[in-house]
A and B are shown apart, each in its own frame.
Chain A
């Protein structure tokens, strides 16, 4: 899903929080000091190590934590400033906590109706059915909460938050309490959520993979301060991002699925700058969209298009920048095709032998099996 520029400029979340907490028993203190504005659409990931203030930021936005000084506006509505403090229950938010936080005294249905009984707007039956369907809850409705698996609980919690039709959905590491298999089970639901409802999401995580799959926009926090913010594709091609490890650098692409080749189990996708073949994925989103992540080390460079190669994807690109890496033997190239910047890592030897310079037109090869879902 390519983020569309808002026409009025009103769909924007502006936030500024300052807060200091001194923990006397641990003799430590924590400071949160952030000021940012982000588009009120798509998924904005809040990324950082534990203790960087991600959860505190989310709690401030929800009004669960009182900052020392704060300002928060959503699409022009003031939720908090020097004189205003909207209580949590008056803020149009949905909040999905890190651990599944269903009410244990209610059934799944009871948990869902707790939300829609309190929603400002009368519940639209279609909307309700859509949520139940997308979150896959049909068979769970009558169950007691403690009969559900961790992943199921979290799906119910997400559905419950969505039923309020919030102006902003806050998700605090919703996958962190789940094991690897359950994570894979629930990620597609969150991807669908992103594609199906026009609700902006603030998504706290410390997983690069989740950002690559879900986020449109990223805020990076370090020790309570905002160090970088930007578009997810900019982030992954930005070689100066401190928290991104060398192996994680690459490119994130939003693609439309053009066709599926049943015989070879491949699909052809188009992005803003070319087309790629890749193995068919099982969890295709509505509207035939999908998101890809291509690591810098999975792209190679040739001077001419190759014909006798096992690699299916070749793109004609222009070299935009050349940055030697600190570790010595390799160099990162930024290359451009259409409106898209790709990041590729090659050895210094190849750089010299191919005579690559900025502005040169070359071909890059992307191995289909190397494209991450």
Chain B
């Protein structure tokens, strides 16, 4: 039993999606995590809760609202249409956006924890040594929070690879556009192609296990603390 060309397309698409989402999320999540770690504002709690929502919401709920918002009559949909981009549902870009929402807490929270555990002192020290804000971030915060960033990258990537419900709601099953591995497995099962489903499912299983193995090993080496992505 070999992988079909469709299966290989699905694997490539999944990797492309997860990479894009992870990279974009690192850029987006870092300032959010920084703000959450440093702010004294009362907004910290509501914003923190909002970021954490995807942890508890069923992906179908999230997918449903994203579909409504990005659809032709939704506010985001109207905006993207006004820009001449059409609507986002059932496109790769739409999937990227939805996945970013879905995986946000998995990237924000490890970074936030890492920044909180550094504390203010090293940053103050850097300032007294003549380092400006960006210099401080790249020369002190980033290296000291590196374990948090690595955890965030791994979790963000793995979580995006593992999503299903939100893709089903937002993307459907368009080859090379939105048909990721989890959808492909679902399609195989629907078509009673159990052998094909089995192969892909086994690949996913191995991938996930190896990722978690690597993550636990990494975190253990760093500090002996367990997996932490929650607040």
A: residues with CB less than 8 A from B are: 62-64, 87-89, 93-95, 97, 101, 103-105, 114-115, 118-120, 160-161, 164, 170
Is there an interface contact between A105 and B129, defined as CB atoms closer than 8 Å? no
A161 partner residues in chain B, CB cutoff 8 A: 128-129
Is there an interface contact between B128 and A95, defined as CB atoms closer than 8 Å? yes
A118 partner residues in chain B, CB cutoff 8 A: 129-131, 135
Q: Which of B122, B129, B140: most chain A Cβ within 10 A?
A: B129
Pick the contact of A89: B122, B132, B144 (CB < 8 A).
B132
Is there an interface contact between B125 and A164, defined as CB atoms closer than 8 Å? no
- Whether A88 touches B124, Cβ cut-off 8 Å, given contacts A118-B131, A119-B130, is yes
Is there an interface contact between A93 and B143, defined as CB atoms closer than 8 Å? no
- Whether A120 touches B128, Cβ cut-off 8 Å, given contacts A97-B121, A114-B139, is no
Between-chain CB contacts (< 8 Å), 29 pairs: A63-B127, A64-B124, A64-B127, A64-B128, A88-B124, A88-B127, A88-B128, A89-B126, A89-B129, A89-B130, A89-B131, A89-B132, A89-B135, A89-B136, A93-B128, A95-B125, A95-B128, A97-B121, A101-B121, A101-B125, A103-B122, A103-B125, A103-B126, A103-B140, A103-B144, A104-B144, A118-B130, A118-B131, A164-B129
Compute how far the CA of A164 lies from the CA of B132 in the bound complex, rounded to whole angstroms. Answer: 15
B132 partner residues in chain A, CB cutoff 8 A: 87, 89
Q: Smallest Cβ distance from B38 to chain A, in angstroms?
A: 14
B: residues with CB less than 8 A from A are: 121-122, 124-132, 135-136, 139-140, 143-144
B127 partner residues in chain A, CB cutoff 8 A: 63-64, 87-89
Compute how far the CA of A103 lies from the CA of B118 in the bound complex, rounded to whole angstroms. Answer: 11
B130 partner residues in chain A, CB cutoff 8 A: 89, 115, 118-120, 164
- Having A89-B127, A89-B128, A101-B121, one finds 7 other A-B pairs with CB under 8 Å, namely A89-B132, A89-B135, A103-B122, A118-B130, A118-B131, A161-B128, A164-B130
Residue of B with least CB distance to A99: B121
A93 partner residues in chain B, CB cutoff 8 A: 128
B121 partner residues in chain A, CB cutoff 8 A: 97, 101
Q: Smallest Cβ distance from A56 to chain B, in angstroms?
A: 14
Q: Smallest Cβ distance from A154 to chain B, in angstroms?
A: 13
Compute how far the CA of A64 lies from the CA of B124 in the bound complex, rounded to whole angstroms. Answer: 7
Compute how far the CA of A325 lies from the CA of B139 in the bound complex, rounded to whole angstroms. Answer: 58
Residue of B with least CB distance to A96: B128
Compute how far the CA of A89 lies from the CA of B132 in the bound complex, rounded to whole angstroms. Answer: 6
Compute how far the CA of A96 lies from the CA of B135 in the bound complex, rounded to whole angstroms. Answer: 20
Residue of B with least CB distance to A114: B129
Compute how far the CA of A164 lies from the CA of B128 in the bound complex, rounded to whole angstroms. Answer: 10
A114 partner residues in chain B, CB cutoff 8 A: 126, 129, 131, 139
Residue of B with least CB distance to A104: B144
B136 partner residues in chain A, CB cutoff 8 A: 89
A101 partner residues in chain B, CB cutoff 8 A: 121-122, 125
Compute how far the CA of A105 lies from the CA of B121 in the bound complex, rounded to whole angstroms. Answer: 14
- Whether A160 touches B144, Cβ cut-off 8 Å, given contacts A97-B121, A101-B122, is no
Residue of A with least CB distance to B127: A88
Q: Smallest Cβ distance from A199 to chain B, in angstroms?
A: 14
Q: Smallest Cβ distance from B118 to chain A, in angstroms?
A: 10
Compute how far the CA of A95 lies from the CA of B126 in the bound complex, rounded to whole angstroms. Answer: 10
Q: Smallest Cβ distance from B121 to chain A, in angstroms?
A: 5
Pick the contact of A62: B122, B126, B128, B131 (CB < 8 A).
B128
Is there an interface contact between B124 and A160, defined as CB atoms closer than 8 Å? no
Q: Which of B124, B136, B140: most chain A Cβ within 10 A?
A: B124
Compute how far the CA of A101 lies from the CA of B124 in the bound complex, rounded to whole angstroms. Answer: 10
Residue of A with least CB distance to B140: A103
Compute how far the CA of A114 lies from the CA of B122 in the bound complex, rounded to whole angstroms. Answer: 12
